[in-house]
Amino acid sequence: MVEKLWWNNYPKEVPYSLSYDPVPIQTFLTRAYEQNPEKVAIHFLGKTLTYRELYESALKFANYLQAMGMQKGDRLAIMLPNSPQSVIAYYGAMYAGVIVVQTNPLYTERELAYQLIDSGAITILALDALYPRIMKVKNETALQDVIITSISDYLPFPKNRIYPMIQRKQMGITAHVKHGGYHHLFKEIMNSMSATPIALPFDYEEDIALLQYTGGTTGHPKGVMLTHKNLTANVQMCDAWLYKTKHGEEVIMGVLPFFHVYGMTTVMLLSVYTNSKMVLLPKFDAATTLKTIDKQRPTLFPGAPTLYIGLLNHPQLAKYDLTSIKACISGSASLPVEVQQKFEAATGGKLVEGYGLTETSPVTHANNIWGRRVSGSIGIPWPDTDAKIVRVGDHKPLPCGEIGELIVKGPQVMKGYWHRPEDTQATFTEDGWLLTGDLGYMNEEGYFFIVDRKKDMIIAGGFNIYPREVEEVLYEHEAVQECVVIGIPDSYRGETVKAFIVLKEGYTTTPDEFNQYCRKNLAAYKVPRHYEFRKELPKTAVGKILRRTLAEEEKMKIASEQAQ
């Protein structure tokens, strides 16, 4: 084994290479049930499920899928927020050999139709509130069966009685679906099926467990094929990195949605693998999250920067006890140093930045949680993960400190894109390295830094400007709650820098003040030429700020002005 520069920074408790358990994902649930059947597996808004209940419910769902005629390799779309049903259905599909297609409940009809057509899903499980949307696109797709559930199906009394009334009043939801024909009710499935174990042959390395669609930042979203090996390897890497945690004793906060691969791996899969309790919330709300942390005492809290920012800026933060939190790995976007420091002060735990892609299940890098870490860095590669910086275009390796494209290799790297061999080929080098599309560098100690997405880099007057660097400076300003920087067209410089800023409550300031502040902290060519203050910024379901949405808005605004 060739020594890697970053190994010098590994804690002694973390091996460079792991001995992986070559089993399909559902085996982890079977083992958790066998080892501790009466342990609480899920807490959801006051309702709890033990590992026995979770295991038996998953088997009931698996048997029902088979009774419906679904075969190994067929696709099931799961269009749910975090809930017991989303976990039951996921593992149930795994037992039945069915490929899960995670589907964002916020999808429009157009987005939903595209994903269902592209994946060839023949069954969908969704909330009752989404039923009308599904029926509008059903005939365009290969859907044969629709399984419907409600949040109230897994709420304790009296919440389960009150919720439907609130739903009707606030959302105008009146969808009533009867169990029969191609309509199926999740509740009826649980009441009618037996929990009979299923024995199917599995190819650990080749069988696809999940089709996880990318965000579609360029062109149409692509279905990332993640195998049982990809997902189980990444979960075991995550467990190794969290070496101070103990199986059977952790409580993992599940705010990140499971229809995003980061939430799915670091909460749903890791919880079951480590026989831990997952505390689920169907959506992020700062007040609810703070109350839940205070009462349920989670020890691990995977998240995204905007989640931590939302909690830190809640006016009643000091009212809640967050000291149960031991460790958090932040993903999906760069973690501002100020946010890291303030969150650690509020919890007493550790918050470190990690890095990954949908195509890597998702984690490839992270800072040491309890060892040496480097602020502003994504950390070092995980066990069995190789990484290097190469020149854009010809993929020639670059020396330490030089900016190029980050490429990675490891057992968590996807099989490829669903039915897109050309895209798959274009994403890998000839010798099997995955091209991440991210620009960065490695320092002389083996720590990696991302300076930006290749496509997000701003070229102004011939200078390369990396939005992350400008954003880090803005986040250090006491008035800034959230910010994002983009390049906008400029007749003289080609592109110039624009900053969108959300101010903290109670703060007022002006573009001139920010201009003076940035000029003290950035080279002149990096200073934003335009500032726009907003009450909120557009975000994905996991809280990642949508830079491209703002860029598109700017293009439309400029086109409109030019047309006048």
Distances from the Cα of 460 to the Cα of 363, 456, 464, 467, 471, angstroms: 32, 12, 7, 12, 17
Burial class (CB in 10 A: 0-12, 13-18, 19+), 326: buried
| Cα–Cα nearest to 183, from 118, 134, 142, 119 | 134
Q: Provide the 3-class DSSP secondary structure of residue 528.
A: coil
In this prediction, residue 407 carries a pLDDT of 97
In single-letter form, the type of residue at position 564 comes to Q
SS3 readout for 7-59? HHHCCCCCCCCCCCCCCCCHHHHHHHHHHCCCCEEEEECCEEEEHHHHHHHHH
In this prediction, residue 557 carries a pLDDT of 86
Report the distance separating Cα 383 and Cα 98, nearest Å. 29
Buried/exposed code over 276-297 (b: 16+ C-beta within 10 A; e: otherwise): bbbbbbbebebeebbebbeeeb
348 contacts: CB under 8 Å, gap ≥ 6: 323, 325
Instruction: Count, in order, helices (H) and strands (E) of the chain.
Output: 17, 25
Report the distance separating Cα 254 and Cα 300, nearest Å. 9
- What is the residue-wise DSSP string for 373-442? --TT--BEEPTT-EEEEE-TTT--B--TT--EEEEEESTTS-SEETT-HHHHHHHB-TTSPEEEEEEEEE
Number of residues that make up the chain: 564
Measured between its terminal Cα atoms, the distance across the chain in Å is 64
| Look-up of token digits 């499920």 | 49
At residue 41, φ and ψ (nearest 5 deg) are -95, -40
Q: What tokens were used for 66?
A: 């088979």
| Look-up of token digits 């779309």 | 77
125 contacts: CB under 8 Å, gap ≥ 6: 76, 77, 78, 79, 80, 85, 89, 147, 148, 149, 186
In this prediction, residue 558 carries a pLDDT of 81
| Beta-bridge partner residues of 251 | 277
Between β-strands 123-127 and 145-149, what pairing exists: parallel, antiparallel or unpaired? parallel
Report the distance separating Cα 35 and Cα 51, nearest Å. 9
C-beta of residue 129 within 8 angstroms of C-beta of residue 175:
yes
Domains in the chain, start-ordered, CATH in brackets? 1-20+227-415+426-456 (3.40.50.12780), 25-201 (3.40.50.980), 463-563 (3.30.300.30)
In this prediction, residue 219 carries a pLDDT of 56
At residue 171, φ and ψ (nearest 5 deg) are -110, -10
* Low-confidence residues of the chain: pLDDT under 50: 216-218
C-beta of residue 239 within 8 angstroms of C-beta of residue 18:
no
C-beta of residue 489 within 8 angstroms of C-beta of residue 529:
no
Q: What tokens were used for 106?
A: 């916020």
In this prediction, residue 54 carries a pLDDT of 98
Report the distance separating Cα 434 and Cα 428, nearest Å. 5
Question: What's the pTM?
Answer: 0.86
Burial class (CB in 10 A: 0-12, 13-18, 19+), 199: exposed
| Beta-bridge partner residues of 99 | 75
Which region, left, alpha or beta, applies to residue 369 given φ > 0 means left and ψ of -120 to 50 means alpha? alpha
